[in-house]
Amino acid sequence: MFDKNSPIGVLDSGIGGFSVVRQVQKLLPEEDLIYFGDGAHIPYGNHSEGTIIAMARYMFEYMESQGVKALLVACNTISCVIDRCQDAVSCPTFNAVQAGADAVAGLDVEKVGVISTVFTHNARCYPRRILAQSPRKMVVLSCGCPDLARLVEHNLGNPDGMAEVEDDLRQELDHMVLEDKIQCCVLGCTHYPLVEDSIRKLYPGLLLVDPAEEMARELARCLEERGLKRETGKAGTLNIRTTGSVEEYALRARQVGLERVESVEFYPPMEL
Ligand code: DGL
């Protein structure tokens, strides 16, 4: 069971969910966070649905064993199959796709672009959810990027690698932005907000939607309503678990500006 002093879980296929942790640390600085990144199996976006569900459930079960009071499914790819995972935890869950669609519903735009992994794109969950809850007529264009998440995961902070990221961004986004003239672009994979500065540089003036901001707000509202907000007057901690490289995760956490990292430890991956 959980109470107001229990930690909050954040999970992702890799380091992308650090973009969500960053927002939660800003909005709810007293909360303790546990992060799980499945570095051994990234990229999720190129796996089959059955494999994604099995790998996601493995992380959900870990979070349940830690007694989290809320679980943020930062990974958009997992968010597309969340209805087949969430019975593995007893706490409230929040997912990136719902948060992204909620954020778009509040915008005064007619043509929306979504960039995501290939799985998220093929699942059509963004267009479906955005159209289902939009109060006005909207056109939603979607683009699946097979390599972008992996490139961001391993190249953040490395100038040559970032040039490769920017080439890939141009290849994937030019058409939607320059030809189709989308009015806003949903960053439908947690890795993409980590290179938001590059996207802004390539497409100045394009409105970007980072579902992480909405997810943090929805979490804050829920904790408040349920009396689950931690109010100790002390800053919360962040403990990171990964099935990938501990050194790489520690470095990326610093690069992204995460605060109060108490530990970065290896956790054995699920065998595929
Ligand atoms: N960061 C994940 C997402 O939001 C997926 C990246 C991947 O593992 O393919 O979809």
Q: Does residue 189 line the site of ligand 1, with CB under 6 A?
A: yes
CA–centroid distance, 31 to ligand 1, in Å, is 25
Scanning 73-186, the segments in alpha helix (DSSP H) are: 76-79, 96-105, 118-123, 125-133, 148-155, 159-174
Residue 91 and residue 103 in one domain: no
Q: Which of 75, 91, 145, 184 is catalytic?
A: 75
Ligand 1 binding pocket mutation candidate from 55, 75, 120 (most atoms within 8 A of CB): 75
Q: Look-up: residue for tokens 């959900």?
A: 60
Q: Tell me what pLDDT residue 176 has.
A: 97
Ligand 1 binding pocket includes 244 (Cβ within 6 Å): no
Question: What is the Cβ-side half-sphere exposure of residue 202, based on CA atoms within 13 angstroms?
Answer: 23
Whole-number pLDDT of residue 142: 97
189: annotated active-site residue: yes
Q: Buried (b) or exposed (e) across 146-177, using 16+ Cβ within 10 A?
A: ebbbbbbbbbbeeeeebeebbebbeebbeebb
How far apart are alpha carbons 192 and 107 in whole angstroms? 20
Flag whether 78 is in a domain: yes
> Do 148 and 124 share a structural domain?
yes
Question: Does 17 contact ligand 1 (Cβ within 6 A)?
Answer: no
Omega before residue 43 within 30° of 0, cis:
yes
Q: Provide the CATH number for the domain around residue 74.
A: 3.40.50.1860
C-alpha distance from residue 146 to each of 154, 166, 171 (Å): 15, 14, 11
Residue in 170, 182, 246 with CA at minimum distance from that of residue 208: 182
| 2 domain residue, yes or no | no
**Is residue 91 flagged as an active site residue?**
no
Kindly state whether residues 77 and 108 are assigned to the same domain. Answer: no
Position 81 scores a pLDDT of 97
Last residue of a domain, one of 211, 237, 253: 211
- Structural domains in the chain (count): 2
> Which residue's alpha carbon is nearest to atom 1 within ligand 1?
190
Distance 46 CA to ligand 1 centre (A): 9
Model confidence pLDDT, tens digit, residues 100-120: 999 999 899 999 999 999 999
pLDDT (tens digit, 9 = 90+) per residue, 118-160? 999 999 999 999 999 876 789 999 999 999 999 998 999 899 9
Q: What's the domain range around 236?
A: 8-95+213-266
Confirm if 12 and 59 have CB atoms less than 8 A apart: no
Q: CB of 190 closer than 6 A to ligand 1?
A: yes
